[in-house]
Amino acid sequence: MPYPKLKMLIAGEWTDGHSGKNEAVICPADGSEIGRVPHANKQDLNDALESSLKGFNTWRLTTPHNRQAILEKTARLLEERFEDISQNLTREMGKPIVESKTELQVAIDLLRWYSEEGKRIYGRIIPSRFPGMQHEARKVPVGPTLAFVAWNFPATNVMRKVAGALAAGCSITIKPSEETPATAIAIGKAFMDAGLPAGVLNIVFGVPSEVSEHLLNSPIPRKLSFTGSVPVGVHLQQLAAKNLIRCTMELGGHSPVLIFKDADIQKAAQFCAAGKFRNAGQVCISPTRFFVEESVHEEFVNAFKKHVDSINIGDGLDPSVNMGPLVAERRINIIDDFVTDAVSKGAELIVGGKRAQSPGSFYQPTLIRNVPETARIMTEEPFGPIAPTSTFKTLDEVIDRSNSLPFGLAAYAFTQSPKTARLLKTEIESGMLAINSLHIHSVETPFGGLKHSGYGYEGGIEGVEAFLATKYSSEIFE
């Protein structure tokens, strides 16, 4: 399956837009140009906004039953196109093909779950203190929505926004990452082929800061949902404030992993290594700081290293590969600097720590131990394949250290003690916590962060709620 021709979706039409500008899409496995993605200019963005208003007025009046039928048809089309979409996802993003397939399946599951949930948007009748009066609170779609998303999950990052918005009855204009456009376009094609009315979904690309500034300056959007880094999230929230646009912010993380001496250390190391190097560590909920109780540190590091040694790096299209390249060449130096900095401050490099091969933006899976708190990797999100370990002595100490950063997205703990587990559930400052596994989200569960990791949720009933507003009315008849 060749990499497709890349177009934007504006007002129901696939278009190159009016700017005449575009940019290269690079395959991270070999550095070659595989396509060119068009850029929108102001006219294109205005067309998208106007069509999204029209689309909203059509879609909000479409019954939930009929919306669900279109979303279900989209899910079936994505299943029919599953192999081609997965291959192109790996081509543009680099992750192993098995991970692309898992991701696409989760995107389809999300779509199905949201599409059914859209039928269950209920209001409530509130008993009145006045005779004969009735109070009603009803849920309505919040309005035309904007979304900007990162490149690390080209299918699910897009689907979490689009399926949630459409299930709630909103229209949505999304700017996926210019680095991974084909997956978003394939999703858009499936929606259009399933009969989604024009303007209900628009897909645009361009210079991110220019696109967001223009779109957020318009009075049309009523909601922004963003997935990306903390600084960009803060910037977009400031732009959204001007028009009082509601926001959902899915931002960066720096997940602590607490490994207690009463845990099954071999299993913990196996789960942690698999989780750390999934998508080459380019995951917002990636386990990032490994705090290991002193007496089991040696055993944990040895077991972890064994798993690192078995990782096969290469082009993600090769089915025997279990770790692909970083998304782009620009990430190599960023990752390398984290390792150099930690080692210069006294950490011990156990395995990895270098660029793996070239061409392609490959970096070795890396394990460093006894990493001091002053190393940058202990406070800044690395977003790459590096696992730093450090030891702890007491429960209070490890809780304090886990909560010491401004991030609060995910946290993990391995312990056989229900008492410790219960305490962590109340004391760890993160939106999500997994005990004795790295399984931290499902389509039915709320995904979101605390503190600088953002606010608002995707998935679960909260994911639909994010695109709803509440309207109150009262009535009284003589």
| Residue 277 contacts ligand NAD per CB under 6 A | no
* Segment near ligand NAD (CB under 6 A); pick from 3-11, 87-95, 223-231, 303-311: 223-231
* Beta carbon nearer to ligand NAD, 111 or 296: 111
Do 228 and 157 form a contact (C-beta atoms < 8 A)?
no
| Residue 253 contacts ligand NAD per CB under 6 A | yes
Count CB-CB contacts under 10 A for residue 400. Answer: 12
What is the spatial distance between Cα 202 and Cα 205, in angstroms, rounded to a whole number?
Answer: 10
Residue 338's nearest CA partner among 371, 311, 291 is 371
Residue owning tokens 């997940």: 255
Joined tokens for residue 251: 């931002």
* Beta carbon nearer to ligand NAD, 51 or 212: 212
* Beta carbon nearer to ligand NAD, 238 or 358: 238
Catalytic residue among 23, 103, 250, 293: 250
**Catalytic status, residue 444:** no
Do 52 and 198 form a contact (C-beta atoms < 8 A)?
no
| Residue 145 contacts ligand NAD per CB under 6 A | no
**How many Cα atoms within 13 Å fall on the side-chain side of residue 212?**
24
Q: Tell me how far CA of residue 41 lies from CA of 11, 46, 149, in angstroms.
A: 15, 9, 19
| Residue 228 contacts ligand NAD per CB under 6 A | yes
Catalytic residue among 27, 170, 272, 284: 284
CB under 8 A, 24+ apart: contacts of 59-63? 59/141, 59/166, 59/169, 59/170, 59/171, 59/197, 59/200, 60/140, 60/141, 60/169, 60/170, 62/169, 62/197
| Residue 442 contacts ligand NAD per CB under 6 A | no
CB of 1 to ligand NAD, least distance (A): 24
Considering only residues 165 to 184 of the shown chain, the ones binding ligand NAD according to CB under 6 A are 177
**Strands 454-455 and 22-26, how do they pair?**
unpaired
CB of 293 to ligand NAD, least distance (A): 27
CB of 287 to ligand NAD, least distance (A): 13
Joined tokens for residue 5: 């021709």
Joined tokens for residue 75: 């899910």
* Backbone φ and ψ of 422, nearest 5°: -65, -40
CB of 180 to ligand NAD, least distance (A): 8
| Residue 93 contacts ligand NAD per CB under 6 A | no
Amino acid identity for residue 4 in this structure:
P
What is the spatial distance between Cα 157 and Cα 107, in angstroms, rounded to a whole number?
Answer: 8
Do 368 and 339 form a contact (C-beta atoms < 8 A)?
yes
Query: Mask: binding to ligand NAD, 341-380, rule CB under 6 A, as x and -?
Result: ----------------------------------------
Residue from 23, 250, 293, 315 touching ligand NAD (CB under 6 A): that is 250
**Strands 287-293 and 255-259, how do they pair?**
parallel
Task: Report how many residues bind ligand NAD under the rule CB under 6 A.
Answer: 24
- What Rg value do the Cα atoms of the chain yield, rounded? 23
Joined tokens for residue 55: 């689309």
| Residue 156 contacts ligand NAD per CB under 6 A | no
| Residue 148 contacts ligand NAD per CB under 6 A | yes
* Beta carbon nearer to ligand NAD, 304 or 447: 447
Do 194 and 201 form a contact (C-beta atoms < 8 A)?
no
Joined tokens for residue 322: 């279990």
* Burial degree of 147 (CB within 10 A; 0-12, 13-18, 19+): buried
**Catalytic status, residue 429:** no
| Residue 28 contacts ligand NAD per CB under 6 A | no
Residue from 173, 183, 227, 390 touching ligand NAD (CB under 6 A): that is 227
Residue from 143, 252, 352, 408 touching ligand NAD (CB under 6 A): that is 252
Residue from 383, 392, 414, 457 touching ligand NAD (CB under 6 A): that is 383
Residue from 32, 43, 128, 209 touching ligand NAD (CB under 6 A): that is 209
CB of 426 to ligand NAD, least distance (A): 22
Joined tokens for residue 288: 């990032």
Residue from 147, 168, 190, 232 touching ligand NAD (CB under 6 A): that is 232
* Residues near ligand NAD, by CB under 6 A: 148, 150-152, 157, 177, 208-209, 212, 227-229, 232, 235-236, 250-253, 284, 381, 383, 409, 449
- Residues known to be catalytic: 250, 284
